[in-house]
């Protein structure tokens, strides 16, 4: 059985963790395969965004503890857990979550730009209950995306967060019925894919990086990024298409 399935749905890359018997727990092989898929996403101009999901009714239960106990680490150098957490792709990445997104699985979801979750989804960082630390970005990203004191509670207790709570706290973009996370994520991905790729990639970059920009240099840092898009062929095409009352044809340049 292939541990990671990679399929194309038009301009969208769908990456499925495929170890249902282990609730899609991540091994080094899984991380390497996901990292390769992310390279494919960013290097192929025909691809606009990607979805990562899991098979068998669960997203990902985290690191495969049995494999870890044998001495294997699941991280990829420079890429992190699941080949994503330390170096997410430049293009948008959507998590489609059913069932468990625990430990590294939650960290993987947090590394994505958007999260679509079914009502069955459960999130959590149970590492302290196993003598570990959520060191693949979970503690950092969670504390930046929900109120810090609430993040502290989940980070220290290892408690699970249900899907409705995650939506209420702003972690989940869309909450859907059981079994519909991937379909809803595809709908969302198609909306992103219809937009100008340079505009989308630059918008993502600004929103991701701006937290580290000094306030006094914010406009100086952002200006060349925005100017590059404004000067692009796609910007001209967008204006012409609007004037002609037609759909634009993006070139990605």
Half-sphere exposure of residue 88: CA atoms within 13 angstroms, side-chain side:
27
Residues belonging to the active site: 107, 127
What does the block give as tokens for 173? 């973009």
Query: Contact, 218 vs 210, CB < 8 A?
Result: yes
C-alpha–C-alpha distance, residues 26 and 5, integer Å: 14
Can you tell me which residue has the tokens 């009714």? 57
In the chain, count H helices and then E strands.
10, 9
Edge to edge, what strands does the sheet with 114-118 contain? 4-9, 12-17, 49-54, 93-97, 114-118, 174-176
DSSP calls for 66-109: HHHHTT----BTTTBGGGTTTS--SS-EEEEE-SEEETHHHHHH
CB 142 within 8 A of CB 155: yes
What would the 3-class secondary structure string for 175-204 be? Answer: EECCCCHHHHHHHHHHHHHCCCHHHHHHHH
Coil, strand or helix: which one is 63?
strand
- Of 81, 62, 84, the closest CA to residue 73 belongs to 81
């Amino acid at each position: 059985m292939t541990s990671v399935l990679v399929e194309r749905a038009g301009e969208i890359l769908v990456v499925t963790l495929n170890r249902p018997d282990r609730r899609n727990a991540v091994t080094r092989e899984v991380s390497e395969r996901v990292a390769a898929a992310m390279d494919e996403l960013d290097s192929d101009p025909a691809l606009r965004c990607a979805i990562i999901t899991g098979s068998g009714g669960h997203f990902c239960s985290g690191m495969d503890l049995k494999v870890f106990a044998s001495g294997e680490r699941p991280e990829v150098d420079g890429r992190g857990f699941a080949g994503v957490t330390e170096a997410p792709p430049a293009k948008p990445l959507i998590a489609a979550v059913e069932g468990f997104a625990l430990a590294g699985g939650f960290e993987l979801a947090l590394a994505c730009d958007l999260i679509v979750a079914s009502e069955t989804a459960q999130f959590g960082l149970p590492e302290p209950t196993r003598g570990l630390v959520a060191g693949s970005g979970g503690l950092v990203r969670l504390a930046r995306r929900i109120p810090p004191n609430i993040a502290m509670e989940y980070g220290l207790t290892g408690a699970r967060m249900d899907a409705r709570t995650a939506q209420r706290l702003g972690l989940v973009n869309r909450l859907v019925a059981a079994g519909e996370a991937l379909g809803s994520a595809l709908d969302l991905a198609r909306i992103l894919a219809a937009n100008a790729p340079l505009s989308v990639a630059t918008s993502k970059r600004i929103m991701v990086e701006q937290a580290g920009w000094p306030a006094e240099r914010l406009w100086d840092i952002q200006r060349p990024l925005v100017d590059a898009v404004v000067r692009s062929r796609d910007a001209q095409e967008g204006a012409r298409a609007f004037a002609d009352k037609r759909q634009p044809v993006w070139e990605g340049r």
